[in-house]
């Protein structure tokens, strides 16, 4: 369990840099346009990811290897924060109001599902191309090298993308562009908005990391099912993430943001802990798959409407900064939860109960936030 905590801690390093990236790129996006910020951030993520493939090993350069690894994680997190601040804003600003909820789900949760699918494909190709010991030498490196593909495609595709029409309209009114969006976000006017937003994003982010984020570990360490079987469940889970996110996002258009988030919060309080309790001790693949996919569905559906909700909480001149920091600070804190789950579990056998307890706790926080937030539907203009 200590080694698991160390693994999740190395992942959390990236999360801690995401708010910094959101502050930098969000501020740029609010002052000079979402499109430029998105191009630089997407290209930066791809290059930083590809550089992992060129890492020297501990055997080659000693302790400097993990130091370089951590530095790259920090740089990667910086650019990922920029991607969130730009894409989470330009996506919902560029579609008609009726589709903003669905777009919110597609970007916020569906993107993670599509990314997981692509990662699964990259892993499959790498293991086939570099079987056995070759994977430990070159296979994993080629997986990281594939990150450069996203930089190339991102540059050419987003370079032809039109600027957000809502931001372009603001730009025409030159006097309304904020000179210091980050300072404005932490002002007396918007700091209370940020604090309430964090209740939702911490609860939503932790829900993701304790469900989809922890499920691979659970299947391997607790259930101990064969890797190929676990892979099939996880691939199915990626499709579930996409479906759940788009459905939940669109429901927020039909029912309203507050009502949808309240309903999802109530469901999560019951179902997320129940799923881990039902998965505890069972070796039946069908049972594991059912509860695992149900866990994945509601773990991701909960935060799917948050992108559009956060966008609607801020004026256009502050939207990229406000949305990016609200999302990334909350998800950075939520991303710490797997570390504490591992630390508080004396043995792997204790993980299911601890996961159930943490899922209940963060779902209560999510519900508390949903109770106090205002209805924001149609506030994005």
C-beta of residue 120 within 8 angstroms of C-beta of residue 234: yes
Task: Check if the beta carbon of residue 210 is closer than 8 Å to that of residue 219.
Answer: no
Report the distance separating Cα 78 and Cα 94, nearest Å: 25
Helix (DSSP H) and strand (DSSP E) numbers for the chain: 20, 0
Per-residue model confidence as pLDDT tens for the chain (381 residues): 667 776 777 777 778 889 999 999 999 999 888 889 999 999 999 999 999 989 888 888 888 888 888 889 899 999 999 988 888 888 888 899 999 999 999 988 888 888 888 887 787 788 888 888 888 888 888 888 888 888 888 888 888 888 888 888 877 776 577 788 999 999 999 999 999 999 999 999 999 999 988 898 899 888 888 877 888 898 899 899 999 999 999 999 999 999 999 999 999 999 999 999 999 888 889 999 999 999 999 999 999 999 999 999 999 889 999 999 999 999 999 988 988 998 898 888 899 999 999 999 999 999 999 999 999 998 887
Sign (positive/negative) of CA torsion 261, 361, 326, 161?
Answer: negative
The pLDDT of residue 343: 87
Q: How far is CA 336 from CA 206, 207, 228, 316, 333, in A?
A: 8, 11, 28, 31, 5
Query: First CA to last CA across the chain, in angstroms?
Result: 48
Q: What phi, psi does 160 have (nearest 5°)?
A: -95, 0
pLDDT digits (tens, 9 = 90+) for 149-170: 888 888 888 888 888 888 888 7
Residue 294: predicted pLDDT = 95
Give the count of beta carbons closer than 10 Å to the beta carbon of residue 379.
Answer: 15
Q: Answer yes or no: are the C-beta atoms of 27 and 41 closer than 8 Å.
A: no
Q: Is 344 exposed, middle or buried (0-12, 13-18, 19+ CB in 10 A)?
A: middle
Helix axes 227-255, 257-279, angle to 10 degrees: 160
Contact 197, 205 (CB under 8 A): no
Q: Which tens digit of pLDDT belongs to each residue from 207-255? A: 999 998 889 889 988 888 887 788 889 889 989 999 999 999 999 999 9
Q: What is the C-alpha separation between 369 and 202, in angstroms, rounded?
A: 10
pLDDT at residue 339, rounded to an integer: 87
Residue pair 360/267 in contact by the 8 Å Cβ criterion:
no
């Amino acid at each position: 369990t200590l080694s698991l905590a160390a693994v999740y801690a190395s992942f959390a390093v990236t999360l801690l840099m995401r708010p910094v990236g959101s502050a930098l790129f969000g501020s740029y996006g609010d002052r000079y346009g979402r499109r430029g910020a998105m191009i630089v951030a997407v290209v930066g993520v791809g290059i930083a990811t590809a550089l992992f493939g060129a890492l020297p090993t501990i055997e080659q350069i000693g302790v400097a290897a993990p130091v370089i690894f951590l530095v790259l994680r920090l740089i990667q997190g910086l650019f990922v924060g920029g991607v969130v601040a730009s894409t989470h804003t330009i996506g919902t600003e560029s579609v008609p109001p009726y589709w903003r909820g669905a777009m919110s789900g597609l970007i916020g949760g569906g993107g993670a599902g599509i990314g997981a699918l692509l990662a699964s494909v990259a892993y499959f190709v790498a293991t086939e191309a570099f079987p056995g010991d070759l994977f430990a030498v070159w296979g994993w490196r080629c997986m990281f090298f594939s990150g450069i593909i996203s930089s190339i495609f991102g540059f050419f595709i987003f370079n032809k993308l039109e600027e957000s029409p809502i931001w372009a309209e603001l730009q025409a009114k030159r006097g309304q562009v904020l000179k210091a969006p980050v300072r404005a976000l932490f002002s007396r006017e918007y700091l209370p908005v940020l604090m309430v937003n964090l209740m939702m994003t911490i609860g939503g982010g932790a829900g993701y990391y304790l469900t989809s984020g922890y499920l691979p570990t659970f299947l391997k360490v607790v259930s101990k099912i064969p890797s190929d079987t676990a892979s099939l469940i996880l691939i199915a889970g990626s499709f579930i993430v996409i479906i759940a996110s788009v459905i939940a996002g669109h429901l927020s258009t039909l029912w309203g943001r507050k009502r949808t988030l309240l309903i999802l919060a109530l469901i999560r309080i019951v179902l997320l802990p129940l799923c881990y309790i039902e998965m505890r001790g069972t070796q039946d693949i069908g049972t594991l798959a059912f509860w695992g996919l149900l866990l994945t569905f509601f773990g991701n559906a909960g935060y799917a409407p948050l992108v559009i909700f956060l966008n609607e909480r801020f004026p256009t001149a502050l939207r990229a900064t406000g949305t990016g920091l609200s999302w990334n600070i909350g998800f950075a804190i939520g991303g710490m939860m797997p570390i504490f789950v591992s630390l508080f579990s004396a043995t792997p056998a204790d993980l299911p109960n601890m996961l159930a307890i943490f899922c209940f706790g963060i779902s209560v926080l999510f519900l508390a936030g949903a109770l106090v937030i205002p209805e924001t539907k149609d506030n994005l203009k």
